[in-house]
């Protein structure tokens, strides 16, 4: 399978919203740990983290009220460098990283590779 050629950080337009249900007004983004490469999804409307994309029932809150506090990767537990992580591209993966992690099914339809009529990918 060929990889997506777009290496720009993904935005809230790039997640398949049909797969996620938390607050009813979902605004979703992919996040990626710059240390271990773990990828998960955040709803920035209600501060829900889907920490294991193979088990969407595994959720955590990303809400912080203290600007001195830091969130950490749900996999390696390394603290983020920034309190306002959603303002920094370094926390957003690109489409290629999502595909390489085996998570292509969570990409919005416009980013998934089209299937051939026999079910194979082009």
pLDDT for 6: 67
Domain-embedded: residue 7 = no
**Cβ–Cβ < 8 Å for 49, 60:** yes
Domain-embedded: residue 11 = no
The Cα 34–Cα 48 span in angstroms is 20
The Cα 42–Cα 73 span in angstroms is 12
The Cα 5–Cα 3 span in angstroms is 6
pLDDT for 68: 83
pLDDT for 67: 79
The mean pLDDT values, 10 residues at a time, for the chain of 122 residues are 69 97 95 98 97 97 87 96 91 97 97 59 48
pTM confidence score: 0.85
How many domains are contained in the chain?
1
**Cβ–Cβ < 8 Å for 56, 20:** yes
pLDDT for 114: 54
- Give the range of the structural domain holding residue 68, as residue numbers without chain letter: 17-111
pLDDT for 83: 84
Domain-embedded: residue 118 = no
The closest alpha carbon to 92, from 51, 33, 44, belongs to 33
Give the containing element (helix H, strand E) for 31.
strand 28-32
Domain-embedded: residue 116 = no
């Amino acid at each position: 399978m060929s990889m997506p050629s777009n290496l720009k950080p993904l935005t809230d337009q790039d997640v398949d919203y049909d797969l996620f249900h938390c607050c009813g007004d979902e605004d979703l983004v992919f996040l990626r740990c710059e240390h271990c490469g773990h990828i998960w999804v955040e709803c920035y409307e209600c501060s829900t983290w889907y920490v294991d994309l193979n088990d969407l029932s595994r959720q955590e809150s990303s809400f912080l009220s203290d600007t001195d506090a830091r969130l950490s990767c749900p996999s390696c537990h390394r603290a983020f460098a920034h309190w306002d992580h959603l303002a920094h591209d370094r926390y957003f993966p690109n489409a290629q990283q999502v595909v390489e992690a085996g998570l292509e099914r969570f990409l919005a339809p416009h980013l998934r590779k089209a299937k051939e009529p026999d079910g194979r990918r082009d």
